[in-house]
Structure 1
Amino acid sequence: MNRITYEYDRLADRKRLDFIAGAVQSRFSDKARILDVGCGNGVISRHLGKLGFNVLGIDVSEAAIEKARQLNNMGNVKFEVLSAEQLVADGQTFDAVICSEVLEHLSQPSALLKVLHQSIKPDGILIVTVPNGAGPRELLVTRPVLKMREQNGVVWKMVQKVKSGLGYNGTTVQSAASNLDHIQFFKKTDLRRLSEENNFKIVGFGKANFIEDVFPFSFVTKRVPALQWLDCKVADLLPYQFTGGFFSVWEKKDK
């Protein structure tokens, strides 16, 4: 058997990828049809494709889909500039739908979840991963940065200069989309409420990391994988409110 390689360098990202792949592999054969919503550059789609699944990655960002296509060399993985609504209109359904690091960018996440409910086969699953809105990174990095940008003062201009000097261009390994702002901040209770409101039930939870991607720790941990590994293990031992992100498996409820 060929060894599966990762496109992600960060161990927390690999942990998320392993959770997604494990949830799919535990329920479906390798011929199952998977939809990756908001697929960005297609990292998750390609990983599942390497495992033998038939994957369609969709995103509304043309830049992200173009990047995903450039990186793809598998016939069982396709990328399209499409909305989930268009797939429903075409009557397409899937064994599993991946919605990874997407809901926090949406002003109305329930609108997407209602559409995805129609896209999933009766015995299918939805896999949702989101940052913990009350976790270390969102509280200590994301929210302060958004606040500084909103004020557009001297501190923000200094931050921009430092980021530019370090080569940061606003995109990530996951997506080349131009806007990656977080506008939703979910706690675990918020996810349960959101699932219930949209006729799902959460049947599995997982945790991401703890503080390895929080400044100033990130300067060291990004260069030392052993510290990233330790941080992920610490997150597994701590209560859910301390994790940097939530991994979850959702099933459709019987009406």
Structure 2
Amino acid sequence: MISSSHKYEYSYRNSQPNHHHAYLIEPLMEMISTSAGMIKNQQKLRILDIGCGNGSLSNFIAQNGYEVVGIEESESGFEFASRSFPNCRFILGSIYDLPYAELGEKFDIVIAAEVIEHLFSPRELLRNAQKCLKPKGHLILTTPYHGYFKNLVLAVSGKTDKHFNPLWDCGHIKFFSQATMTALLEAENYTNIKFDFAGRFPWIWKSMLCSSMPNTSK
């Protein structure tokens, strides 16, 4: 997660899975598997986990047969990940300044799970991910779902302040619907955009998942 200074860095307390893993893991692994099936690669597929936090998700993906590299700005997250999950490689670094000499065009799939909503400049995530993807590689994003009906339910139930809590340090600053995520991806020249949803009930889902590919024909 991105912060304006070390003082406001997101701090992790352990290497346990985050709460959203409970409802994201199954559809995320299905989306990764579908993307992997579209990529003609005889070797173990390489996945870059941008904003990997404490590494627990990277580790789970690696246990399913993928080679995973995670990058994380939080020093505590990086330390927990490095100590706890030796089957992955972790890099301490910023989403806004990736080490392209190490990562450029090296990955079949780039994922960013529950990250983009924390970024002041979400376009930079899409641009930097593209630089790390091999030709015909896939980007997979997950982020809390927002839409008209869900926002209406929040308002009627009196939970708007809790959901859009401005007092949450290092909290969410971007709120995406399916339409705005599509617009962002298309503006950054991504194509083959596909969505899935996770958690709770239709139209008030907790999160949405999105896979796409850079349009290399232009």
State the TM-score bracket (shorter-chain normalisation): 0.7 to 0.9
Aligned with 1:129 (options 102, 123, 142)? 142
Offset at 1:250?
Answer: 1.1
Q: Is the 8 A contact 2:105 2:135 kept in 1?
A: no
In the alignment, the residues of structure 2 paired with residue 109 and residue 42 of structure 1 have an alpha-carbon distance, to the nearest angstrom, of: 21
Which amino acid in 1 is paired with 2:177?
A: K
Per-residue CA distance 1:144-183 (angstroms, 9 max, x = gap):
x32xx3xxxxxxxxxxxxxxxxxxxx8xxxxxxxx53101
Q: Compute the TM-score of the two structures, normalised by the length of structure 1.
A: 0.66
Partner of 2:53: 40
User: Quick one: structure 1 residues 27 and 246, their matched pair in 2 at CA, closer, same or farther if it must change by over 3 Å?
Assistant: closer
Per-residue CA distance 1:4-50 (angstroms, 9 max, x = gap):
xxx6485x633312222222223436711100000001121101110
Partner of 1:81: 92
In the alignment, the residues of structure 2 paired with residue 19 and residue 30 of structure 1 have an alpha-carbon distance, to the nearest angstrom, of: 24
Per-residue CA distance 1:116-150 (angstroms, 9 max, x = gap):
1111112111110001234467846231x32xx3x
Matches within 5 A, 1:27-176: 27-28=35-36, 31-74=44-87, 77-84=88-95, 85-90=97-102, 91-134=104-147, 135=150, 139=160, 141-143=162-164, 145-146=165-166, 149=167
RMSD: 2.4
Please list every run of 5 or more consecutive structure 1 residues that lacks an aligned counterpart in the other structure. 1-6, 150-169, 171-178, 211-234
Aligned residue for 2:131, secondary structure, equals helix
Q: Is the 8 A contact 2:109 2:139 kept in 1?
A: yes
Q: Is the 8 A contact 1:35 1:97 kept in 2?
A: yes
In the alignment, the residues of structure 1 paired with residue 22 and residue 112 of structure 2 have an alpha-carbon distance, to the nearest angstrom, of: 16
In the alignment, the residues of structure 2 paired with residue 101 and residue 9 of structure 1 have an alpha-carbon distance, to the nearest angstrom, of: 10
User: Quick one: structure 1 residues 180 and 133, their matched pair in 2 at CA, closer, same or farther if it must change by over 3 Å?
Assistant: farther
Per-residue CA distance 1:209-240 (angstroms, 9 max, x = gap):
23xxxxxxxxxxxxxxxxxxxxxxxx2xx3x4
1:184 matched to 2:146: no
In the alignment, the residues of structure 2 paired with residue 73 and residue 122 of structure 1 have an alpha-carbon distance, to the nearest angstrom, of: 28
More helix by proportion, 1 or 2?
1
Partner of 1:249: 211
Matches within 5 A, 1:155-234: 180-210=170-200
Structure with higher Rg: it is 1
Q: Tell which deviates more after alignment, 120-129 or 20-29.
A: 20-29
In the alignment, the residues of structure 1 paired with residue 109 and residue 129 of structure 2 have an alpha-carbon distance, to the nearest angstrom, of: 10
Share of identical aligned residues, percent? 28
Q: Compute the TM-score of the two structures, normalised by the length of structure 2.
A: 0.76
Please list every run of 5 or more consecutive structure 2 residues that lacks an aligned counterpart in the other structure. 1-15, 37-41
